[in-house]
Amino acid sequence: MIDNAVRTAIHEVLDRMAGASTPGVALDAIPADWPRFVSGPDAHGFHFSMRPAGAPEMVDRMYGRGYGMGRGTTQMEAILEGIAWIRRCVPEPDDILGTLKDRAIALTLAADALNDLYVRLEADSSEEQARVANAEVQRLASAADAAQYAILRHLGRGDPDGWDDSHPLNEAMWTGQATPDQIRHYS
């Protein structure tokens, strides 16, 4: 499994290569420790292949066998086709902040919904069911608090001693009191 740092590094290189104006500029964007080749023209045009550091085995095997990952009538076409092929093999980096926000929103909504059930059960004099629901509300609320705090930690705005006061929602995130809308738009 490729971690996010490797995927990010590979996609940054691929983005620079894809934005290049000439094949030479595209090839210069490749780090020196990444093996690569451009060959041709032959009966099938030009061929391009490279092996990014940390790439998955499929990329390594393809490069190791000497197969072109991209082919085209020009060097640039072959390079662009090779870039597209590698992008299919190396997934985009995860949006960690987006994932953290989705988790915090889901847990916050679940805790709120269960709390509404608890209030209804308590009003209906269903004491035993209300007690069970309240215990689950507390468990979910704790998980929602931790999920909101994880966003602060990811952004470097929270530590065990407190939160960074520079953002108006930091205290709400620190205490787990942010609403789903506030979480969604927090940056």
Q: Which residue has the tokens 């809308």?
A: 181
Q: Decide if pLDDT at 171 tops 80.
A: no
Q: Are strands 70-72 and 158-159 parallel, antiparallel or unpaired?
A: unpaired
> Is the Cβ–Cβ distance between 68 and 95 less than 8 Å?
no
Residue ranges covered by each domain of the chain: 4-89, 96-185
Here the tokens at position 185 are 């738009």
Q: Give the per-residue pLDDT at 73.
A: 92
When pLDDT is averaged across residues 169-187 and rounded to a whole number, the result is: 71
What's this model's pTM, rounded to 2 decimal places?
0.52
Here the tokens at position 30 are 């490749």
Q: Give the per-residue pLDDT at 94.
A: 66
| Pick from 138, 144, 156, 164: nearest CA to 101 | 144
When pLDDT is averaged across residues 91-118 and rounded to a whole number, the result is: 83
